Each structure stands twice: as C-alpha cells, then as structure tokens.
Amino acid sequence: MDSYRRSLSAAAVLILTVGLGEGSRAQQAAGVAALAQAPPVRAALEAAKATEPQTIEQQIGFCQVPAPPFQEAARGRALRRAFEGVGLSNIRVDRVGNVLADRPGTAARPRVVFAAHLDTVFPEGTEVKVTREGTRLRGPGIGDNCRGLAVLVAIARALARGHVQTPGTITFVANVGEEGLGDLRGVKELFAGELSGKIDHFVSIDNAGISITNLAVGSHRYRVTFKGPGGHSFGAFGLANPAHALGRAVAKISEFQVPSQPKTTFNVGRIGGGTSVNAIPFDAWMEIDMRSSEPRTLADLDAKFRKAVEAAVTEENARWGGRPTITAVVDLVGDRPAGSTPSDSPIVETAQAVARALGLGATLSEGSTDANVPMSRHLSAITIGGGGTSAESHAPQESFDFTDSWKGTQNAVLLAIALAQP
C-alpha cells in the first residue's frame, strides 16, 4: 500500500486519507482528477482503451450465448471463463445462479460490487447471431445487457494490466433475473445471502451511454386470471365469459389518468386464454406492469387496478343474469421496489467527478435496474451505462454503436478505483 500511495499526487491521496465523500466537493473532484493521473491508474485507463476491440469481441461472444428468462446458466458459464481469464479469484456460483468473483484489495472493506445482468427479455429459440455493419452491432440483447457484461470483464482486465492495487476489495457479479418476471431475484439474493451486510457500494452496469441512474423506478407486475365454467359458443350461449371480463378490465385500465411527475405508467403487456374460436373459454389471463418512482403513487395506481378488475367481474356477471360465475385471481409476479440515492450522496458525487475527470458528461436519470434493491434500502448504489450508443432495446433488431465506446469502459474503470478507496 505504501508504494501505491507514493505513486499518487497529494490531491489523490486526499481520497485515501480524508475518505470518499468527505471534505468539500471541490476537494473530492480534485482528488479524483489527480487519481486519474496516478501512474498505475493511468496505465489501467490506457489499457481500457487499447483493449476495447477485445471488449467488443467479448460483447458479441456473450450475446451469442442464449440467456432467456430463467435460463441464464450457459451465459453464466461464459462469464465464469471470462473471469478466470482476467485473473479474478474465488469464482463461485450462488444458489440462484449469480456468478461472483473477487479482486482482493489490501483490506476486505470497503467492498465495492460491480454487477451486470446475464438475462435478456427474449424467449428460448430466439436467433442470437450478432451482425456487424461498420461500427454498429445488431442482435437481441447486444446493448441490454451484453455491453454491461463486457465492461464488467474489461474493468478487471484493465486493473490487472495497470497493476492497480486498490485498498478495498472489488467483487464482480454477473447476475440473473433482472428482466421481466425475473423480479430482480439475482440482486435480491446478493443482499440477502452471502454478501448481506458486506456491500459498501453497489454499481450496476446496464446498457450503453454514460448516464448515472440514481432514481429507482418501482413496479408492480400482476398476472390476472379470469375464470368461468366455459362451454359451447352456441349451445351454452348466455354464460358469463372470462374473455369478456378481461376485455372490460383492459378497457377500464386504458382510461386511467396518471401523473406526469413523478412519471407513472401502466401497460397490459400480454393476454391469453381460451381453447377454440367456438368455445366460451373457461379462463382468460392478462399480465400488467405498473411503474412509478414514488411508492405512494404506485400504491394508488395499484388500488385503482384492483378496483378495475373487481368492477369488470361484477359487470360481466350482471350482463348475463347476475350469477357469480366469473371470478378473478390476481397474482403478484413482480415487485420492484422504488427508491433513490440522493444527488449529493458520496457515490453520486464520485461518479460525477469521475466523468468530469475524463471529460465526459454524465447526467442523472431514473430507471428500473438491479440498483433498485439497494436504493430501496437506502444503501450506496447507482447504475451506470457502459459507453457507446444503443437503440431499439428489447427488440430483435436491437443495435449497439461502438464509436468511442472505450470512454464508457474508462469511466467504469476509474469509478471502480475511486470507490475502492477507504
């Protein structure tokens, strides 16, 4: 540690001796800027840029390993091999499928976790071949979140090539369950399992750009199943119809009025049911997603949704004589907690100072990411982008432009070093 300190300027030592987030904002900014000029740190930043072609190739490689919801194991094995290749230690897989690896510091704390999610929104059987058109890559999940996974590995590679010895330990996590009905199960396990009470700073790398997400948009997701006796469409005509009840509910939901601030949304994303065009269905179902960064607003929207379902059942039964033949089962299938990390918190100010030290602009934003879990618990957490530019996320034609994407890699590397200071 003494030789490492000797390689830093006095301003950079300020971070080590005063502490992350302490002292004035100007002092902290000066310390981060000086830290970026320390020989081992500068070597790591140069390595991040020089090895960006390798980072891009790994991004493509990870993306061509399918990782549909709840089936992330194969891609997890690819990340395990990558972690081994950059010299990380204590590589393991936890009970839900997260792949973890450590880069020990001179002390166990602070422990900084950098995470990127393995899963995509695309179902099993989706064609995952990535094509290249100049600087643009195209393939499902190429930005969200194959970019995050590639940068995760690139951080460890750059630190090794720069021979950076951090005071704190950095744990790298390729986690499961960020998308859709995964319900953040990977990160929930991190904070409830092996690393419970041991994480000082958490950074999720998700998709592209250089933004800092410090406002966690919460969501409630439900599967609603309308049930009835069913029957022949002609012979049993007059029975209340689960599909009609579903339609009534969707119509009511579509008329909801929600605030623009905080941004609050709702979406019926999937519907299904029935057996034949000439049969009254015995069931019909829908899945709905509701979001807001304000817990009270989300709770109010949730209450309106439940009333809409109840009213739809009542109206459909009344339409056919009032017999209570239609029922609805409301199952919660996703609960992402809302939360925030204050803009003047040490981790946010450090992330902004890192971006400025590299000549980058990093705006604060809101989103629904793995960082929702620690933010909701008032822990030190943010999400950052991995650089480059993505488009059409969650679509089969998703794309990623790697023009100057190395800047995002450098941003992640310097942030890891800065956060691993005592």
412: closest CA among 358, 342, 344, 338? 358
SS3 content of the chain, % helix, strand, coil (to 5): 35, 25, 40
For residue 283, give every residue at least 6 positions away whose Cβ sits within 8 Å of its Cβ, in sequence order, or none.
Answer: 225, 226, 227, 228, 230, 242, 273, 274
DSSP string, 114-182: EEEE---SPPTT-----EEETTEEESTTTTTTHHHHHHHHHHHHHHHHTT---SSEEEEEEES--SGGG
| 361-393 b/e (C-beta count within 10 Å ≥ 16 → b) | ebeeebbbbbbbbbbbeebbbbbbbbbbbbeeb
Q: Which is nearest to 202 in space by CA: 390, 15, 345, 25?
A: 345
Map residue 314 onto helix, strand or coil.
helix
Instruction: Say if pTM beats, i.e. exceeds, 0.85.
Output: yes
The answer to whether 59 and 150 have CB atoms below 8 angstroms apart is yes
Number of neighbours of residue 344 by Cβ within 10 angstroms: 9
Cα–Cα separations (whole angstroms), residue 249 to 67, 230, 257, 303, 316: 33, 19, 15, 14, 10
Do the bridges between strand 283-292 and strand 264-273 make them parallel or antiparallel, or are there none, so unpaired? antiparallel
Would you state the structure tokens that stand for residue 368, as one six-digit string? 């629904």
End-to-end CA distance of the chain: 12
Q: Tell me the CB-side half-sphere exposure of residue 50, using CA atoms within 13 A.
A: 11
Domain 218-336 has CATH 3.30.70.360: yes
Say which residues have a Cβ less than 8 Å from residue 182's Cβ, sequence separation at least 6. Answer: 69, 70, 119, 176
Say how many C-beta atoms besides its own lie within 10 A of residue 2's C-beta: 5
State the pLDDT at residue 22: 55
CA angle 159, 87, 386 (to 5 degrees): 50
The CATH number of 2-216+339-419 is 3.40.630.10
Map tokens 């059409």 to a residue: 392
Among 86, 88, 120, CA closest to 104: 88
Whole-number pLDDT of residue 7: 54
Bond prior to 145 in cis (omega within 30° of 0): yes
* Peptide bond before residue 262 is cis, with ω within 30 degrees of 0: yes
- Per-residue pLDDT tens digits of the chain, which is 422 residues long: 454 555 554 445 545 444 555 556 777 788 899 999 999 999 999 999 999 999 999 999 999 999 999 999 999 999 999 999 999 999 999 999 999 999 999 998 999 999 999 999 999 999 999 999 999 999 999 999 999 999 999 999 999 999 999 999 999 999 999 998 899 999 999 999 989 999 999 999 999 999 999 999 999 999 999 999 999 999 999 999 999 999 999 999 999 999 999 999 999 999 999 999 999 999 999 999 999 999 999 999 999 999 999 999 999 999 998 778 999 999 999 999 999 999 999 999 999 999 999 999 889 999 999 999 999 999 999 999 999 999 999 999 999 999 999 999 999 999 999 999 98
Q: Which helix (H) or strand (E) is 333 found in, with range?
A: strand 327-336
Give me the pLDDT at residue 21, please.
53
Dist. CA 342–CA 349, nearest whole Å: 9
**Domain map (residue ranges) of the chain:** 2-216+339-419, 218-336
Q: Dihedral (C-alpha) 268, 272, 274, 277: value to the nearest 10 degrees? A: 90
Give me the amino acid identity at 48. A
**Element holding 215 (H helix, E strand):** strand 212-216
- What pairing do the DSSP bridges indicate for beta strands 131-133 and 279-280? unpaired
CA distance 98 to 293: 27
User: What pLDDT score was predicted for residue 360?
Assistant: 95
